[in-house]
């Protein structure tokens, strides 16, 4: 299995010269928290579901849950603060073994090189300032990361959950990117940026191969799933766009608000992203998988944005929303959809609520609420179908058409639907 490639028009991904729909699961804490037996079970389960990318932090995730593995890349007396001057080879051998098994099962890896808690001037180091990596240690750490993982052809995310408001942060990530270029020449690069944010510096946009954005876990800002998709799809230079951190299933709302994101919420973020310009793929997250919450082990010790406690791994692995994401992958793959073009201008009603995108032969509409709406254009002779996304069943859907517009009435579904108009 070869490395990912970028399409000639810079809008989608390929693997082994065939279109590749990125369907990632978020498993940031894998290398520090997951036993070999757990990893085997996890990989087999996600493989059967249809996932093909895993997003992992190469260094310890700062807000991971507790683990008995005691497996770290640097010496630590308290399992939290590290001596970055010394690298522990056992950690990297363990991580390489996990990567090899994942790649053998068909997964592509997206590996974060330097999460923002290790970098000066970020929001995370305001909360936990004791683990900023000294500048003189950066190159040796990244050299070890690249030498350990290059053979698995990963996409390297230079940053993790990062904003770039301060010059010291930009300077540090410039160094990180230089080191990745030096020790992993030719590898695809991206920047994983913080939620609800589009402030990727232009110099980093020009060094990226993929745009990643994060619509995040704030319940009042879920419109960012489509707004940021539009922003990055219009940005120069052009790259494939992916929402690499939409709201996670059963994640507590940020800022200590009462509530959790449920299946319909994550489905909303999914389709808003795919039909608004972020069509190269999508990432799923389950609250309990990314931080690996095991029964009897300490919960995430970092207050952060105040998320509610995670479910256990056994529960989180089987959250129902994962099936919505695999359905989207199958839908795109079976129909050979690589780059649907957003076309909100066709919507007469609810242009900020319904998502519309065109392919060569069809018009796709994500309709979150069962309400009549109208479209501009002549759709006489089109074949119309709809999928009730809560059940994945095809339901009747009718359009009343004339030369200039089409009127959609009520349908038989109770939740959101995907409407397909085929020429």
pLDDT value of residue 355: 98
pLDDT by residue for the chain (423 residues), tens digit each?
Answer: 789 999 999 999 999 999 999 999 999 999 999 999 999 999 999 999 999 999 999 999 999 999 999 899 999 988 889 999 999 999 999 999 999 999 999 999 999 999 999 999 999 999 999 999 999 999 999 999 999 999 999 999 999 999 999 999 999 999 999 999 999 999 999 999 999 999 999 999 999 999 999 999 999 999 999 999 999 999 999 999 999 999 999 999 998 899 999 999 999 999 999 999 999 999 999 999 999 999 988 887 666 666 889 999 999 999 999 999 999 999 999 999 999 999 999 999 999 999 999 999 999 999 999 999 999 999 999 999 999 999 999 999 999 999 999 999 999 999 999 999 999
The contacts of residue 378 (CB under 8 Å, 6+ apart) are: 401, 402, 403, 404
- Please name every residue paired with 18 in a beta bridge, in sequence order, or none if there are none: 15
pLDDT value of residue 255: 86
The DSSP secondary structure of 251-286, one letter per residue, reads PBPSTT-S-B--HHHHHHHHHHHHTTT--SEEEE-B
15-59 pLDDT per residue, tens: 999 999 999 999 999 999 999 999 999 999 999 999 999 999 999
pLDDT value of residue 303: 62
Q: In angstroms, how far is CA 320 from the centroid of its own chain?
A: 18
pLDDT value of residue 300: 76
pLDDT value of residue 87: 98
124-177 pLDDT per residue, tens: 999 999 999 999 999 999 999 999 999 999 999 999 999 999 999 999 999 999
Parallel, antiparallel, or unpaired for β 22-26 and 53-57? parallel
Strand segments (E) across 27-79: 53-57
């Amino acid at each position: 299995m070869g490395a990912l490639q970028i399409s000639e028009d810079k809008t989608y991904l390929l693997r082994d010269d065939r279109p590749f729909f990125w369907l990632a699961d978020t498993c940031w804490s894998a290398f520090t928290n997951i036993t070999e037996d757990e990893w085997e079970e996890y990989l087999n389960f996600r493989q059967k579901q249809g996932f093909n990318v895993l997003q992992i932090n190469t260094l310890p995730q700062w807000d991971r849950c507790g683990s008995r593995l005691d497996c770290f890349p640097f010496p630590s007396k308290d399992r939290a603060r590290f001596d970055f001057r010394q690298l522990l080879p056992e950690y990297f051998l363990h991580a390489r073994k996990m990567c090899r098994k994942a790649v053998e099962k068909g997964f592509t890896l997206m590996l974060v090189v330097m999460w923002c808690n290790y970098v000066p001037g970020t929001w995370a180091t305001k909360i936990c300032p004791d683990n900023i990596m000294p500048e003189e240690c950066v190159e040796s750490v990244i050299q070890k990361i690249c030498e350990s993982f290059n053979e698995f052809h990963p996409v390297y995310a230079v940053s993790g959950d990062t904003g770039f408001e301060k010059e010291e942060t930009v300077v540090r990530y410039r160094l990180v990117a230089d080191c990745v270029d030096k020790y992993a020449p030719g590898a695809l690069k991206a920047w994983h940026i913080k939620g609800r944010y589009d402030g990727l510096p232009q110099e980093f946009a020009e060094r990226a191969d993929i745009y990643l954005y994060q619509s995040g876990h704030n319940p009042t800002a879920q419109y960012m799933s489509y707004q940021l998709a539009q922003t990055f799809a219009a940005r120069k230079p052009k790259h494939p766009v992916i929402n690499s951190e939409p709201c996670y299933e059963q994640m507590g709302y940020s800022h200590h608000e009462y509530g959790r994101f449920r299946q319909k919420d994550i489905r909303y973020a999914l389709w808003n992203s795919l039909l608004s310009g972020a069509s190269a793929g999508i990432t799923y997250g389950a609250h309990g998988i990314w931080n690996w919450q095991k029964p009897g082990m300490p919960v995430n010790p970092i207050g952060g944005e105040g998320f509610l406690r995670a479910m256990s791994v056994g529960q989180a692995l089987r959250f129902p929303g994962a099936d919505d994401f695999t359905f989207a992958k199958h839908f795109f793959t079976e129909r050979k959809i690589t780059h649907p073009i957003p076309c909100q201008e066709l919507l007469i009603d609810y242009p900020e609520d319904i998502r519309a995108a065109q392919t060569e032969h069809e018009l796709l509409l994500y309709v979150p609420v069962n309400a009549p709406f109208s479209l501009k254009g002549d759709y006489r002779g089109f074949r119309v179908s709809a999928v009730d996304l809560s059940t994945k069943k095809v339901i009747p859907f009718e359009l009343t058409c004339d030369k200039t517009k089409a009127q959609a009435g009520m349908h038989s579904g109770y939740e959101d639907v995907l409407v397909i108009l085929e020429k």
